[in-house]
Amino acid sequence: MMSFNSIFLSTSLILAMSFISNRICATGVQSIPFVENYDIVDYEKSENWAALPTKQDSADLTPKDLATHEMPFDIDVFFLYPTSFTKADERWNATIDDAKINEKTDNASIKFQASIFNKTGKVYAPRYRQAHIKSYFSKDHESARQALDFAYQDVRAAFIYYLEHYNNGRPFILASHSQGTTHAQRLIKEFIDKKPLQKQLIAAYLVGLPVLKNSFYTIKPCLTPEETGCFCSWRTYKTGYEPKTNIPFDEIAVINPITWTTGLALADKSLHKGSVLADFNQLKPKSQTAQIYKGVILTNKPKFRGSFLFTSKNYHVGDYNIFYRDVQENSRLRAKTYLQTQQGN
């Protein structure tokens, strides 16, 4: 079994970005200017997908405490994982076949995030040449922009391939975290918002970055647990954290991932469906609170073996799995509601 540090701390942004930035600077590794790579990723190859319904992968896993008989609906989930390219490196983008980065992605975000949706539908998660974490704080703004653009071109190509070869007109959920959310917003704007494809969108889970309420023309923040055609967004911090942002708090979309409403009242532990933390097979229900505060979600410190070593108030890496079962049940509810509505039309 992987240790907590390798699971919980190794994913994209477990500590504040300033910590990672300082670590990179301390190594003395300097970034070179962004250089375009014109190679095209072949998404016909299964190895270029972190999750596919036709192969065994980490998205198929289910915690033993959640060994239910729930059957997924006839829908898809297109999942975009967060940054796992975080070690000091002069490059701006990872390669598609970097074994260490892919293993890190599979054992962290695919296992602890994408697997949430395997009780809801067929999970598709493309590998992409993700931008290095420095792209979010580098002073070389042009290279950072180009790196994220380059990563998006892979995401875009994978989504087109998915639509043309896998989707077959099924309804779908778009789910993402962190850098994945950067790209998911672009996908929505280019392919879904005010486009024919919008009618197939059950909901989008755009998690881990601030998403503005008015980001899209016709796709608005979800306001209720069963609403469809909308998006959910949140970022998680320890109770007592004081958010700092240049964005007015009331312009940031945030939903409570326990109550699935936008009210400011505290959702107490009795309502919490369950976290999946260091031990993937252990579901921890009634262990977390959740409250909307200045554009973020505040919750109590999660408890797990070794948690006394975890002092950060930024629970970014746990945005999904702190509310593992809550997200799972909610995605099923939205899928069920969507399908029932379509049958009634």
User: Which residues, in sequence order, are bridge partners of residue 175?
Assistant: 79, 205
Separation between Cα atoms, residue 233 and residue 296, nearest integer Å: 9
Which backbone phi and psi does 137 adopt, to 5 degrees?
-140, 0
Q: Are 330 and 225 in contact (CB under 8 A)?
A: yes
User: Which residues, in sequence order, are bridge partners of residue 126?
Assistant: 49
For the segment 117-148, what is each residue's pLDDT rounded down to a tens digit?
A: 999 999 999 999 999 999 999 999 999 999 99
pLDDT at 19 over 70: no
Quick one: pLDDT at residue 344?
A: 76
pLDDT at 249 over 60: yes
Sequence-distant (6+) residues with CB within 8 A of 35 are 92
For the question of whether the overall pTM of this predicted structure is more than 0.85, the answer is yes
Separation between Cα atoms, residue 87 and residue 272, nearest integer Å: 34
Quick one: pLDDT at residue 91?
A: 92
Quick one: pLDDT at residue 6?
A: 38
For the segment 317-339, what is each residue's pLDDT rounded down to a tens digit?
A: 999 999 999 999 999 999 999 99
pLDDT at 78 over 70: yes
In what helix (H) or strand (E) does residue 174 lie, and over which residues does it extend?
A: strand 172-177
For the segment 177-224, what is each residue's pLDDT rounded down to a tens digit?
A: 999 999 999 999 999 999 999 999 999 999 999 999 999 999 999 999
**154 HSE (CA, 13 A, CB side):** 29
Name the DSSP class of 156: H
The domain spans of the chain are 4-344
- The DSSP line for 236-292 is EEETT-----SS-GGGB----TTT-S---S-B-GGG---B--SSTT--BTT---BEE
Least confident of 59-68, 191-200, 220-229: 59-68
| Mean pLDDT rounded to a whole number for the chain | 90
Encoded amino acid at 54, one letter:
T
For the segment 262-321, what is each residue's pLDDT rounded down to a tens digit?
A: 999 999 999 999 999 989 999 999 999 999 999 999 999 998 877 776 788 999 999 999
